[in-house]
Structure 1
Amino acid sequence: MTKKPKIRVITLGLIQDKNRLFVSEGYDSVKHQSFYRPLGGGLDFGETSLEALKREFQEEVKGELTNIHYLGCLENIFIYNGKPGHEIIQLYRCDFRDRKFYELDSVPFFEGNRQGKALWIEIDRLTSGELVLVPHQLLDFIQKLD
């Protein structure tokens, strides 16, 4: 009997510093494509999306958040490494409490047993399509600076 796919509920934190966005770097080995996504993760049973957001940033980059504002809910249906995925995303805009994060080029992080890298990416590289932001609907929430 095959296991029925599940819809995953996650929370993501959109951290923007002028013309840069703080994202994790991922790679789809089937599409041979790198992609970028804000940090966050899955909710535990009995945990609010806000609590999960704070916990995930603490676990992944040892970062404390401030100025947290709820932006909305997104639905993301996608294919990753050849397998279908479905997420309900609770999206927040936030800042790092510690200014040191804004001075770093990249921050190593751990998500379960996977080591990754979070980094600042110029927003123009994401909006132009040069780099892939997932889910793509996040582009609607990035503040345009003139």
Structure 2
Amino acid sequence: MDLVFPTEHGVFNYRVAGIFVKDGHVLIHRNVRDDFWALPGGRVTLGEEAATALARELHEELNMRVTDTSFAFVHENLFTYNDQPFHEIGLYFYVNGDLPLQDGDFYGPEGDHLIYRWQKLDRLQDVTLYPEVLAQLPNRLPAHSLNPA
């Protein structure tokens, strides 16, 4: 059971997302119906650890094998989506994995409902990225993620 609970007042959502940086780019995604981007990830299942949920989601959505994660931050996000108020707790992790860098938009093996893109870190302002705190992402990254060995 995913940890998302609709109520008469809105929806509570527990989400994990990955900060996957490669050669000055960060992996982002969006639903084809949306006009904004987010970091890839998904919902945590009851009894599942957050890092495990993130590795599972990235494997399901991108057939990606996660080789390493480390906790980055937690963000409480209040927003409205499809006319529903959401109260989301998001856990964000730095991620390493076997997904290659590629140009342009692409889809994962689940189909064409999610669009992925490697966005240049110095061009994050060119896209609408939620939650808005992610606009500061280039300033928050550890040095080793910007200049991998």
TM category, shorter: 0.7 to 0.9
Give the CA deviation at 1:80: 2.0
TM score, norm. by length of structure 2: 0.77
TM score, norm. by length of structure 1: 0.78
Give the CA deviation at 1:109: 3.0
Give the CA deviation at 1:79: 1.8
Out of 17, 28, 35, the residue aligned to residue 22 of structure 2 is 17
- AA aligned to 1:116 is L
Look up the match of 1:6.
Answer: 11
Give the CA deviation at 1:118: 1.1
- Stretches of structure 1 that go unaligned for 5 or more consecutive residues are none
Q: Is the 8 A contact 1:28 1:80 kept in 2?
A: no
Change (3 A) 1:109 1:14: same
Change (3 A) 1:5 1:81: closer
Which secondary structure state, in structure 1, belongs to the residue aligned with residue 80 of structure 2? strand
Deviations 1:31-86 (A, max 9, x none): xxx21111100011100101100110011111011231101211111122333222
Look up the match of 1:121.
Answer: 119
Q: Is the 8 A contact 1:106 1:118 kept in 2?
A: yes
Look up the match of 2:3.
Answer: none
Alignment pair present for 1:93 and 2:94: yes
Deviations 1:6-51 (A, max 9, x none): 311110000011321101024666xxxx211111000111001011
User: Matched residues, percent identical?
Assistant: 24
Alignment pair present for 1:102 and 2:101: yes
- Compute the RMSD of aligned alpha carbons: 2.6
Partner Cα distance (1:101, 1:70) in 2:
22
Which secondary structure state, in structure 2, belongs to the residue aligned with residue 102 of structure 1? coil
Look up the match of 1:131.
Answer: 127
Which secondary structure state, in structure 2, belongs to the residue aligned with residue 95 of structure 1? strand
Give the CA deviation at 1:105: 3.9
Change (3 A) 1:140 1:41: same
